[in-house]
Amino acid sequence: MSETYTPPKVWTWDKENGGKFASTNRPIAGATHEKVLPVGEHPLQLYSLATPNGVKVTVMLEELLAAGHKGAEYDAYLIRIGNGDQFGSGFVEINPNSKIPALLDRSTPTPTRVFESGAILLYLANKFGAFLPKDPHKHTEALNWLFWQMGSAPYLGGGFGHFYAYAPEKFEYPINRFAMETKRQMDVLDRHLADNQFMAGDEYSIADMAIWPWYGTLALGKIYDDSGTFLDVQSYKHVQRWTAEIAARPAVKRGRVVNRVSGPESEQLEERHSAADIDALGL
């Protein structure tokens, strides 16, 4: 138990004691096996899974396509992180950090690898000149909130979500600490969204696409068991208004099903190679 634990002088790896992700978590980086990644016909190759970090990118790609950017056509291949696909040699070449999502742009003179979901959103926004306001003030505001998400969500996911839903036991101290921080973050969003339609003001941007899959899903009560009740997410009225508005966007409905292999079957699409793959679900 944590109250009686005294850290040894030097930490060693106890393979049995990692909770739900014990089989994939390791204290070392690099590939565990040789595996060439599949490549489709489109300029953009995405290797991902429909977790909140993965959904950010498929929503952006679907938004770009909906806005008429044909160069945003993509093949989305499934990376099963529970099976350790992120440690295959081909994946590690694209993302040395072994985390989804990872993107390869084959339309550049030499292929461009992009990893970290925030970097991918920014890369695509710059490449297509879309979903990042041009006005300098709004542009900076979008980046403020994009980077806010990248720094904040690990406390929601790796902190609160891990200890509330995944850790092998319910430990009061970390659940309290991270519930407090998650509620503080929801209040930050709620106050901002009281005065702003979207994160960067009146323009929908990559900041909304980054934040919605995490905090919108939390607001909808669709993540971490009964965390919606535990954190009283209904009380964040402005977050609720923004969450519903974004959830209703056709591109969001399309993007969130790509590389999804859990939940209702009608919302699952293992791989995406054309618009027709998503159309077939009849969303």
Ligand X SMILES: N[C@@H](CCC(=O)N[C@@H](CS)C(=O)NCC(=O)O)C(=O)O
**Positive or negative CA dihedral for 225, 52, 147, 195?**
negative
How large is the greatest C-alpha to C-alpha distance in the chain, in angstroms? 60
Site for ligand X in 167-196 (CB under 6 A): none
Q: Specify the stretch interacting with ligand X by CB under 6 A; choose among 93-101, 138-146, 201-209, 241-249.
A: 93-101
- Is 152 a residue that touches ligand X (CB under 6 A)? no
Which CB, 53 or 185, lies closer to ligand X? 53
Asked if 186 and 233 touch (Cβ cutoff 8 Å), the reply is yes
Q: What is the contact mask toward ligand X in residues 95 to 114, using x (rule: CB under 6 A)? A: ---xxxx-------------
Least Å distance, CB 238 to ligand X, is 25
* Residue found by looking up tokens 């720094």 in the block: 151
Q: How many residues does this entry show for the chain?
A: 283
Site for ligand X in 222-241 (CB under 6 A): none
Q: What is the dihedral of CA 224, 230, 235, 236, to 10 degrees?
A: -40
Which CB, 84 or 201, lies closer to ligand X? 84
Q: What is the contact mask toward ligand X in residues 45 to 84, using x (rule: CB under 6 A)? A: ------x-x---------------------------x---
Asked if 170 and 112 touch (Cβ cutoff 8 Å), the reply is no
Asked if 225 and 170 touch (Cβ cutoff 8 Å), the reply is no
Site for ligand X in 116-145 (CB under 6 A): 116-118
- Is 24 a residue that touches ligand X (CB under 6 A)? yes
- Is 32 a residue that touches ligand X (CB under 6 A)? no
Q: Are strands 44-48 and 102-105 parallel, antiparallel or unpaired?
A: antiparallel
Residues whose CB falls within 8 Å of the CB of residue 226, separated by 6 or more in sequence, listed in order: none
Q: Specify the stretch interacting with ligand X by CB under 6 A; choose among 3-11, 92-100, 194-202, 250-258.
A: 92-100
For 140-176, b/e burial (b = at least 16 CB within 10 A) is ebbbebbebbbebbebbbebbbbbbeeeeeeeeebbe
φ/ψ (deg, to 5) at 264: -55, 140
Least Å distance, CB 85 to ligand X, is 9
Which CB, 88 or 101, lies closer to ligand X? 101
Least Å distance, CB 153 to ligand X, is 8
Chain residues binding ligand X by CB under 6 A are 24, 51, 53, 81, 86, 98-101, 116-118
